[in-house]
Amino acid sequence: MTKKEEQAIVLDYLPNGYPDDPRPSHRKTPIVQALGKERFTLLELVPKKDITLQPNDEVYIGEGKRDTIHHIIGRMPMRRLTGTAKSELEFAVKGIVKETQIDFIEFFNKAQALTTRMHQLELMPGLGKKHMWQIIEERRVRPFDNFKDLKERVKLMPDPETTIIKRILKELSGHEKHLLFIDR
């Protein structure tokens, strides 16, 4: 069972609902498009009455009392994001990756083989067999402490932070078979 998101980052706030909603404006509901902070779930939310939100605001969406969000409509595919939400998405992912760097370093420290021919590390953009073996050898010596440590110890390693961000965005697009960082 997938763990529910507790916090989300606002990608877009539509005070008058979706423009293509055929209902009269007095019947439309304000909509918030958001990104869950833990499992990068794209969500559609309804704010409480008289609440105004901005992109990059953090909102509580857990089980307890919510200050700004009335209810969660549900998950949404990336293709339903507004233009503003799409442009904010990479910025939001980058912020989460920076904030929770230690979780992503753990991925590099613990990534395993998927099959006899494919390793989780090889699913990362820009990493091939050569980088994979260097990472495995270096983490046997000592686990990586942070992105800087990883980049210094693995020669010609693409920027780990950028690599993770690219992978998360690819997974969000819905075209990846193996998911490393998001839930479907």
3-class state of residue 109 by DSSP = helix
Q: Is residue 23 situated within a structural domain?
A: yes
The answer to whether 99 and 147 are in contact (CB under 8 A) is: no
Of 49, 80, 111, the one marking the end of a domain is 80
The answer to whether 51 and 24 are in contact (CB under 8 A) is: no
Q: Are residues 73 and 40 in the same domain?
A: yes
Q: Work out the number of other CB atoms within 10 angstroms of the CB of residue 154.
A: 23
Q: Are residues 64 and 122 in the same domain?
A: no
Per-residue pLDDT of the chain (184 residues; tens, 9 = 90+): 457 899 999 999 999 998 888 888 778 899 999 999 999 999 999 999 999 999 999 999 998 899 999 999 999 999 999 999 999 999 999 999 999 999 999 999 999 999 888 999 999 999 999 999 999 999 999 999 999 999 999 988 899 999 999 999 999 998 888 999 987 6
β-strand 7-14 against 69-75: which pairing, if any? unpaired
Of 80, 109, 141, the one marking the end of a domain is 80
Q: Is residue 88 situated within a structural domain?
A: no
Q: Are residues 59 and 113 in the same domain?
A: no
Q: Is residue 139 situated within a structural domain?
A: yes
Domain that holds residue 120: 100-172
Q: Is residue 109 situated within a structural domain?
A: yes
H-helix or E-strand spanning residue 162: helix 160-172
Q: Is residue 181 situated within a structural domain?
A: no
Q: Are residues 105 and 149 in the same domain?
A: yes
Distance CA 69, CA 56 (A): 15
What is the per-residue pLDDT across 105-123, written as a single tens digit (0 to 9) for each?
999 999 999 988 899 999 9
Distance CA 54, CA 33 (A): 11
